[in-house]
Structure formats: C-alpha cells, structure tokens
A and B are shown apart, each in its own frame.
Chain A
C-alpha cells in the first residue's frame, strides 16, 4: 500500500472519513440492539476504504454546482464526504419526523442536490439510469461536473443496469460507476450470479473504460477513482471502477451470514481497511498513533452526539403520510378517520389540508 501523491492532510482526511463511517455504523448497531431502529440495519464493514477513497475524488460544493454522488446502502462514508449529515443518518434509521424524508424513507435513502447526492431506491440498477440522466444534463448544459454511482455487483445482472449503461455509453455521459464487488449478493455468491471473474469484463460490452482495484486499500481506490473521474470529466464518457473486497456482515443485521465459510470471513477480517491504513500511516514520520486515535475518538463522539440528538426528536405525525404525493394535492384522508369534531360519514371528505 503506497501513499501515492496525497498530502499528509489528505491522508488524514481519508482516515477521518473511514472512521466516521465505521463509528456511525457501530453506533447504529448499538441503537438497533437497544430496540430503537424499527427497520433493517445495513453495515458496510470492510467496505469503508472503497466508499471514502472513491468519493474523495469528487468535487463537493454546498451550492448545488458540484459533482453528484448516488450512494448505496453500504456507502455511508461516501455520503458523509459529500455533505450528508450524520445526524440525518440517524434520523433516517430512527424514522424521525426531522429526517430528510420526514420518516417516509429509511437509511441512506435521502437526497440533497445542494450538497450533491441522490438517494437510491431499493430496486437495483435504477440509479444507473437516473445518474445517466443527471450527467446527461451536465453535458447538455456544458457544466464541468461528473456523477458517481455506487452499486453492488449483484445489480449488474438487472435490466435496469444494462439499459442505464446503454444510454450513458451511447450519450457519452460523464458518469463514474463504482461496482462494489463484495462477493455476495445477499446469500448468493458471485459465482452463481455470473460467469465472470471480474465485473470490469462487462465494461467492454459498452465500449467504456474500466479498472479493478483492491477495495480495502483506500489510497489505491482513491488513485484509480481520481483517474476515472478525470477521464469522465475530460469527456471520455462513462468509466467503471471495480472495488474488490468482501461484505463482512450479512445482507442486513438480521442475516447471520451462515452461508459464508468461516475461513473466508477470518481471511477478510485480517484485511480490515482501517487496520491496514493505520499501519501504513504509522510508517510515516509525521503521523502519530495518538493523532489517529484522536480522530477516531472524534468520530465516535460526533456519532454519539448525532445519535442522541436524533433520539431526542419525535416520530412524524401519522397524518403527514397524506402529504407530498403530488405537488398540488394531498392523498385523501380515510373516511373512517374524520377530522376532530366532524361526524363519521361514508363519504370522502375531500383533499386534506
């Protein structure tokens, strides 16, 4: 693992970014065990270098003019780098009224185009199509911006992935595709999803560039992605980067992952991206263990405060489920739940206001 051409500050920022994802997810797991999370919890354990190293290659602006990231469920670290607030992360998982989706959607499924990220939907492959269109708009308007989309290797089997690829490649969209080759699609190993050894093999079918990279090496990920982002920005069309690593937890926390051979898990526990990066950083004369520990502790404290803040906030009023179905109309209030003071009548009561 080399440190490449990155400055000391940049390397420490990468470290902080990885710490933040790890700390946020660990705090989240605790909250779930305490019964605070009603939905599923998805860990990106072992994938932090891929998320952080890649998103670090994007231009983050907070005024709606920067690059746009489409994060995936295990890429919270990328989301945070693009301005996603850890407090919002906990609000989303804890289904708070204050969450960016008002409690209507969960986990990392939230969007902020001012910061520059768009939340995914659960059907896989869709975001390739959507970010193809986002980057098409950059091209149509002559804007110097790129889009980056994360997705698991399993998503490359969907029709949506292929349709999005067909479109983005034909239009030469400035799109960077991050394939999270983490060896399992839920319980199904890659070998049963594909005949391919590497998902970069799908790229030539679309005439686009691709590179495969060691996904636990944050510097290697960053360098490969920075090159891909540069090519996309230079007008060379979509670029693919495959992150080779391992999903060290179940699909979600309710999945005990019994289908994964014990030895495989142990092998990848030895390749923890934070451990590897810490060791590499400590080889430098200008980085101390205390400094790294300090940044880890800062991430832990930040997440604890963010989680406490989210926990203190209310769940949404049930009635707010009626809002925002259309820009100009609400859903109809159920007639069996008349507004206070009015009688029960088997008649719709008109749009709720």
Chain B
C-alpha cells in the first residue's frame, strides 16, 4: 500500500497540516501498518465503527478485516489472543476501549505476557493502548489511570505521552519494540486544540525510556507526565511571573523503564524535587521516584521531596467533585512555593 493513497484525515502530516494528539496516534498506527504486514489491530468496535474515539476510523477499509478485528467484549480473551499471535511472529496492537476495562486482562498481562521471555517462551512484541485519564466527567469507570497497576510487574514497559509529536514517535517505538508495552493516551489531550502541531513529514521514533526536558530551570525540579505536563507548565508560568521561581520540568514520557538518570541529573542541579501526577496518591509513581532520588542524590537535596496528585478516591462524576479530585495548577503553585522557600 502507498502512503499517498491514504484518505485525507490520515495524511495531514504529509500535507503539512497540524494534527491533534489523536490524529498523531492514528498516523502512527497507519504508517506502521503500511510498513509492516505483521502488524494488526484488535479491539472492541475498532473496525466498522472506527473505535469509540475514532482513532482507527477508515482503517477497516484500508487494511481489511484480517488486520482490523472487531472482538467480542472479552478484554482478557483478545489480549491473551494477542499473546498467542505474538508467539507466532505477528505484532498485535490491541485497543482497550477505555483503559479502565483492562482489568479482565490483568491476569494474562502480568502472569503470561510479562513473564514469557523469562520463561523461555520468547519475546512478546505487542502493544496494549487506549484512553486514560480524568477531567471529562466520565465517572469512576471511564477516567482511570492504570499505570501503577502494571508498574510493579517486571517485563512490561509503560508509555504515557503528553503531546502529538511524542505520541506518534513513542507509539512507533512501542510497536517496533520486542517487549510488551502498555501505551496510555490521555483522552483530554485527544482533541485539545492547543496541542495541535505540525509534525515532521518523515519516519521518526521517540526512544522508549527517555524523559524530555520541557523547560529548564534552576530552583526546583518538577517531574511529571501525561496531561499534568500541561498543568505543570501553566503553574510554572505563574511561579515565574509572581514569585520569580525558576522551575525545571521533566516529562517522563516512558514510566517503565523510568529515566532515573534524567531525574537524578536535574535534582543534582536544582536540589529540590516536586512530582506531579494525575494518578492517585498512594502507590503512585511519586513514591518510587522519591526512593530513587533518595538512593542516588540524597546529599544534593535541599528540601523534602513533595508530590501533587489526585486524591485517594475513585474518580467522581460531578464536575465540582472531579475538579476537586484532580490536581490543579493552583495545587502545583502552592506546593512549589512551599518547596522553593526551603
């Protein structure tokens, strides 16, 4: 298949037009499927309907029902089937309609897929992707972040991009990776107009496991990922204007493997660390990051390691509740001010 033959909505980058976060993901998928015939997609309502969020709109017509497969509502079943197909040399990309629904596949992901290489049963080149995150009034079952349910499982990689450029490059890298990757897409970013970006009209990847410095700073290091990158940038603007506090922001991009070196290097430079994540507090990634910094940069710290996170509760539906539940830019400003005063 020729990339020039693709429908308009999948070729915006080729025509020099800006793409949304969602379109960047669609482009990554379509370009990879054209490149490698072993890649195929499975998920609920992804073929005829084009996916609940329309990430795979038009894919069925392009690639046929052998490569774009509507599955029964059986997340464990089709994720396990992806494992079997990966054994046979295919490279499945499965979509969770909402990542909240990954839980029936928890067994096969943690017990089977993550252990396959270690058990001598071979690599598992597959990607499990889907929408995560709150702020859309989706309630408890359409808003969760799932990274920490899998972070504790050796053998998995976890990716969580924050912008269209990274989303496209990271998804391509994930598909080409020989290890199983859980790829989280914050649904609040999917069509965010401010994030629309003109991407390079070339085949590029963003390597897994490498954090990105969003902005350099001198007073404190702020480590974050996903949608709270944007919350943090907004907060940093306020801090710079109102307090003269210079914040260095790291976007982790990949959570597993964690780019410990980037974090440690930045903390050694600023002497202070604030971790911001949309995921809930207890058992959130801030705890692990704090421990890593404690191990490697204790002598460089000039203040406590602090965190700003969602509250330890299910994601509530009502807007007033959800806004209270989620970490806001004001929370980041408050925490950074407290920390900067050390």
Q: Is A133 touching B112 in the complex (CB atoms < 8 A)?
A: no
Q: Is A119 touching B121 in the complex (CB atoms < 8 A)?
A: yes
| B87 contacts A by Cβ under 8 Å | yes
Residues of A within 8 A of B90 (CB): 137, 140
Given A129-B108, A166-B74, decide whether A325 and B87 contact each other with a Cβ distance below 8 A. no
Select B85's contact among A111, A134, A331, beta carbons within 8 Å. Answer: A134
| B123 contacts A by Cβ under 8 Å | yes
Residues of B within 8 A of A132 (CB): 77, 80-81, 84
Given A126-B80, A129-B79, A130-B112, decide whether A325 and B119 contact each other with a Cβ distance below 8 A. no
Which B residues, 46 to 95, have Cβ-Cβ distances below 8 Å to chain A?
A: 66-67, 69, 71-72, 74-90, 92
Q: Is B84 touching A129 in the complex (CB atoms < 8 A)?
A: yes
Interface residues of B, CB < 8 Å — how many?
46
Residues of B within 8 A of A123 (CB): 107, 111-112
Shortest A108–chain B CB gap in Å is: 12
| B278 contacts A by Cβ under 8 Å | no
Q: Is B40 touching A163 in the complex (CB atoms < 8 A)?
A: no
Given A132-B84, A140-B66, A160-B108, decide whether A325 and B117 contact each other with a Cβ distance below 8 A. yes
| A170 contacts B by Cβ under 8 Å | yes
Residues of B within 8 A of A163 (CB): 72, 74-77, 80, 104
Q: Which of A24-32, A97-105, A286-294 contacts B (4 or more CB under 8 A)?
A: A97-105
Which B residues, 97 to 116, have Cβ-Cβ distances below 8 Å to chain A?
A: 104, 107-108, 111-112, 115
Shortest A61–chain B CB gap in Å is: 14
Which B residues, 106 to 164, have Cβ-Cβ distances below 8 Å to chain A?
A: 107-108, 111-112, 115, 117-123, 154-155, 157
Given A167-B71, A327-B178, decide whether A129 and B80 contact each other with a Cβ distance below 8 A. yes
A340 to B82 Cα, complex, angstroms: 42
| A118 contacts B by Cβ under 8 Å | yes
Interface residues of A, CB < 8 Å — how many?
48
A248 to B77 Cα, complex, angstroms: 32
Residues of A within 8 A of B72 (CB): 163, 166-167, 170
| A319 contacts B by Cβ under 8 Å | no
Closest Cβ neighbor of B119 among chain A residues: A105
Task: Kindly supply a per-residue 1/0 record for chain A positions 153-171, scoring 1 wherever the CB is within 8 Å of any chain B CB and 0 otherwise.
Answer: 0000001101111111011
Closest Cβ neighbor of B76 among chain A residues: A163
| B179 contacts A by Cβ under 8 Å | yes
Closest Cβ neighbor of B298 among chain A residues: A346
Residues of B within 8 A of A100 (CB): 120
Residues of A within 8 A of B179 (CB): 326-328
Select B84's contact among A119, A122, A135, A162, beta carbons within 8 Å. Answer: A135
Task: Kindly supply a per-residue 1/0 record for chain B positions 229-256, scoring 1 wherever the CB is within 8 Å of any chain A CB and 0 otherwise.
Answer: 0000000000000000000000000000
| A110 contacts B by Cβ under 8 Å | yes
Chain A to chain B contacts (Cβ below 8 Å), 25 pairs: A100-B120, A101-B120, A102-B120, A111-B121, A119-B121, A121-B111, A126-B108, A130-B84, A134-B84, A135-B84, A137-B85, A137-B87, A140-B66, A140-B67, A159-B76, A164-B76, A164-B77, A167-B77, A167-B78, A171-B81, A324-B120, A325-B154, A327-B117, A327-B179, A347-B296
- Known pairs A133-B80, A167-B74, A325-B155 / 5 extra A-B pairs, C-beta < 8 Å: A130-B80, A134-B88, A140-B90, A162-B74, A347-B295
